[in-house]
Amino acid sequence: MIQFGWSKEEGRHVFLGVKSKEESETRKLNELTEIAKGIFSNKKTLTYTEFTHSVMEALDIKDRMARNYIKFMKDNDIVDKSDGINGDYSLSTLPF
């Protein structure tokens, strides 16, 4: 997979290299796990809005991308959404 990314310094997209799909997914999973641990280190649960803003700040991204990352985290059991009225998010805990 050929990777391009936005360079703030150059003000344009730049070539980042070639990576396998598995390597990209593993990197994304590891990065987002660490981001989630950092976000939930101060507070055990967050509302969707608080969580979205925290992801936006941590990764310096826009709202839509933050929502995509939150969905990825939820789908990969990095975070859990409570069944309560508020639907708060929290870091997933391992069953053992």
Tell me the domains of the chain and their CATH numbers.
Answer: 26-91 (1.10.10.10)
**Segment 12-28, tens digit of pLDDT:** 999 988 878 888 889 89
pLDDT band, residue 94 (cuts 50/70/90): low
Q: Indicate the pTM of the whole model.
A: 0.75
- Give me the residue label for tokens 């730049």: 14
For the stretch 17-58, pLDDT in tens is: 887 888 888 989 999 999 999 999 989 999 999 999 999 999
Q: In a 3-state reduction of DSSP, which class is residue 93?
A: coil
The 10s digit of each residue's pLDDT in 78-92 is 999 988 777 899 998
The pLDDT value given to residue 96: 43
φ/ψ region of 22 (left if φ > 0, alpha if ψ in -120 to 50, else beta) reads alpha
Q: Assign residue 77 a region: left if phi > 0, alpha if psi is -120 to 50, beta otherwise?
A: left
